[in-house]
Amino acid sequence: MLQEREVYTVSELTRAIKFVLEEDFSDIWVEGEISNFKVPNSGHAYFTLKDKESQMKIVLFRLNKRLLKFEPEDGLHVIVRGRISVYEPRGEYQLIADYMEPKGIGALQLAFEQLKEKLFKEGLFDEAHKKPIPQFPQKIAIVTSPTGAAIRDMLRIIDRRFATVNIIIYPVRVQGEGASLEIAQAIRELNTLPGIDVMIIGRGGGSIEDLWSFNEEIVARAIYDSKVPVISAVGHEIDYTISDFAADLRAPTPSAAAELVVKDKREVAQNIIGMEKRLINAVQNMIDILKSDLIGLQERRVLRSPLDRIYELQQRGDDLNLRLKRSPMMIYKKFSEKTFHLTKSLFILNPRLKLEAQYWKPLRALSFELRASVNHRLEILDKKLKGASGRLNALSPLAVLERGYSISRRLPDMKIIKDISDVETGGQVNVKLHRGELVCRVEERKQ
């Protein structure tokens, strides 16, 4: 009796093979070199993974591709995780990838280098585009986490160096999913506010993953488009991010950024006093030089004393008086008039009057104007400092707390409570008062 033959259709056999492969190879890692990398309009990525002897088809769907921190390209050696499947219309087996990383270099480091090279070629790091940082900013915006150590350090340093500066804090997340969007949005919104002189963006130190929000392209382009000068202060001194290259100035730490952007008020005051002293000394030196020149002229008898001329004329007058007693009246009148005119001419030619008009009066006027100008400038700066201090105090959240208001935050994540739905019954709440804080438990919620 002949054994009955089992005949498969092509579709049935392909489907059976697909079932076996998907069941036996549902989660595997494969290593190889990328070739023929293509991304059609669908956003899915199709490429071949090969080694010296074999190759296989790889499919990376759009959602998983968006999670990659680097850009795949031909010739890159990678490790891929996924599951084996069969594309039934062509009867080809392929790997459906859900994760991929470069071999020999971290994905984040590779993404950093790729984006850095791309933005450099586009000119986002050009020195010609960088804006100067103002020497005496009146209003400073800070984009960072409101609860991190970085903001506390910056505020402490700014308050110590120049307490009357106005500060706007724009709170954002500085790590995690969506943090880069918040940072970029903050930069764009602060550019719409009037009067901001300079902007600091940054956070404290951390791993490359923690700092990655400042390596995103959206943040770099927001910095490049900013009309307000931007200082990037991310991590520690050894940490470099894309925002550091795009910013107008890089600070090695947030604390260093605060010191770079704000001058020390005491140093400024000392500089003004020093300038005043130098101006006064310069004028005094000029007077001393002129006085020394006059004394030298007198000692060399280049200028005769006016008294000598007067004594000589007096002596001649005495002689004329004696002669007039023996001369006719006309002779007496003639010589009398001549003596009068000579005396008047001598008075007009008196060098002391000339010196007084040409040198002493202008020097005294210049000295007075210099003193008045310096005093007026000091008064203006003092009024500005007092006005800025008053405005800063009026905007201070501590002043609001002093009037009896409080800030409630949900524990343990310290999220500010704006609605009763933000906290559950029985949950704990931190209440910040003007003096001290309370930890409370929610007994009841009322609408």
Residue 215 lies in a domain: yes
Indicate if 379 and 349 belong to the same structural domain: yes
The answer to whether residue 299 sits within a structural domain is yes
Q: Is pLDDT of 302 > 70?
A: no
What pLDDT is recorded for position 303?
52
Report the predicted TM-score, pTM, of the whole model to 2 decimal places: 0.46
- Top-confidence residue, 265 or 233: 233
Provide CB contacts within 8 A for 255, sequence distance 6+: 153, 154, 157
Identify whether residues 89 and 209 lie together within a single domain.
no
Beta carbons within 8 Å of 12's beta carbon, 6+ residues apart: none
Report how far Cα 259 is from the mean position of its chain's Cα atoms. 11
**Residue 346: which pLDDT band, with cuts at 50, 70 and 90?**
low
Same domain, 179 and 280: no
Q: Are residues 76 and 158 in the same domain?
A: no
pLDDT tens-digit readout, 68-125 = 877 888 878 888 889 888 888 887 888 889 988 887 656 677 778 888 888 899 999 8
Q: What is the pLDDT of residue 323?
A: 67
Q: What is the DSSP string of 51-114?
A: -SS-EEEEEE-HHHHHT-SS---TT-EEEEEEEEEEETTTTEEEEEEEEEEESSS-HHHHHHHH
Are 157 and 181 found together in one domain? yes
pLDDT band at 150 (very low <50, low <70, confident <90, very high): confident
Is it the case that residue 295 has pLDDT exceeding 90? no
Contact call for residues 91 and 14 (beta carbons, < 8 A): yes
**Residues 243 and 291 grouped into a single domain:** no
Same domain, 256 and 145: yes
The total number of structural domains in the chain stands at: 4
Q: What is the mean pLDDT of residues 176-186?
A: 92
Mean pLDDT, the chain, as a whole number?
82
Residue 110 lies in a domain: no
What is the per-residue DSSP string for 343-386? HHHHHHT-HHHHHIIIIIHHHHHHHHHHHHHHHHHHHHHHHHHH
- Domain membership of residue 121 (yes or no) is no
d(CA 447, CA 407): 19
> Is residue 186 scored above 90 in pLDDT?
yes
Residue 33 has pLDDT above 80, yes or no: yes
Per-residue model confidence (pLDDT) at position 304 = 58
Q: What CATH number did the domain enclosing 69 receive?
A: 2.40.50.140
Kindly indicate the confidence band of residue 355, based on its pLDDT and cuts at 50, 70 and 90: low
CA distance linking residue 270 with residue 94, whole number of Å: 75
Q: Quick: pLDDT tens for 212-232.
A: 889 889 999 999 999 999 999
- Predicted confidence at residue 245, as pLDDT, reads 92
Give the pLDDT band of residue 367 (cuts 50, 70, 90). confident
Question: Among 263, 291, 317, where does a domain finish?
Answer: 263
Domain check: are 218 and 296 in the same one? no
Q: Is residue 446 domain-resident?
A: no
- Residue 437 belongs to what domain range? 402-441
Assess whether pLDDT exceeds 60 at residue 130. yes
Average pLDDT score over residue span 33-47: 89
373-428 pLDDT tens trace? 888 888 888 888 888 877 877 777 777 777 778 888 998 888 888 888 888 888 89
The answer, yes or no, to whether residue 143 has pLDDT greater than 60, is: yes
**What is the structure's pLDDT at 144?**
92
What's the N-to-C CA distance of the chain in angstroms? 86
